[in-house]
Amino acid sequence: MAVARTPRAAWIEAGLRALSAGGPDAVRVESLAQALGVSKGGFYWHFGDRAALLTEMLDAWESEVTAEVIRRTESGGGDARTRLRRLFGTAVEGLVTDVTTDLAIRDWARRDEAVAERLRRTDTTRMDYLRSLFLEAGAGADEAEARSMIAFSVWIGDHLIRADHGPHSRARVLQLAFQQLMR
C-alpha cells in the first residue's frame, strides 16, 4: 500500500499562511505539520531543512505577484488601457495576491538583506510592468514613472490606512483612485 504524502505545495502554502500571521519566526516545521494534520517527517521528504522551505516560499510568492499577475492581466488581451483597467480591477477585488503576505515579507526584509534583495527585485518587476503599460498607453516617461509609483503605493498603502470614507466604500475609493490614474 502506497503512503500518501502531503504535497510540497501544501507545505509552501502553510508556510506562507504562517509567515502572514506571525512573520518568519512563525514558520516552524512542527507547527506547519500540526496545521496540516500530518507528521513532520513528510516535510523532510520535500525539503532538506527550514531554510529550503523559506526559499521556496519566497519563490512561490514572487511568482504569484509578478509572473502570475502579468499572465492574468495579459491573458485577456486588449490595448494597454484595457490591461491597466483589468490589473486595477483585480487589485480592487483583492484578486491580485494576499497583501498580508506582501506586508509580512516587507517586514522580514527590514531584518534580512537576502529577503530585502528579493523584495527589491520583485518590486522592480512590478514597477517595470506598470511603467510599460503606462508608456504603451501614451504617457511620457516622467508621467509613466509617477503613475506607476502612485498605483503601486495605493495598492500597498490601502492595507495600512484605516480611514473612514464617508458615503464611499473602500472598494469605491480605490476605483476612483485608479480612475484618476487612467486620465
Is 44 part of any domain?
Answer: no
Is 116 part of any domain?
Answer: yes
Confidence of residue 37 (pLDDT cuts 50, 70, 90): very high
Range of the domain at 151: 56-181
Residue scoring higher pLDDT (91 or 115) = 115
Phi-psi region of 138 (alpha: psi -120 to 50; beta: other; left: phi over 0): left
Is 8 part of any domain?
Answer: no
Note the pLDDT tens digit of each residue in 76-99: 999 999 999 999 888 777 655 678
Angle in degrees, CA 93, 96, 102, rounded to 5: 115
Contact, 171 vs 118, CB < 8 A? no
Is 49 part of any domain?
Answer: no
Is 115 part of any domain?
Answer: yes
List the CATH number of the domain containing 79: 1.10.357
Is 46 part of any domain?
Answer: no
Q: In 4-112, which residue ranges form alpha helices assigned H by DSSP?
A: 8-22, 29-36, 41-46, 50-63, 69-75, 80-92, 99-109
State mean pLDDT over 16-41.
95
Contact, 138 vs 79, CB < 8 A? no
| Residue 41: per-residue pLDDT | 87
What pTM, to 2 d.p., does this model score?
0.89
Is 86 part of any domain?
Answer: yes
CA distances from 66 to 73, 130, 168 (A): 11, 11, 30
Domain count within the chain: 1
Is 133 part of any domain?
Answer: yes
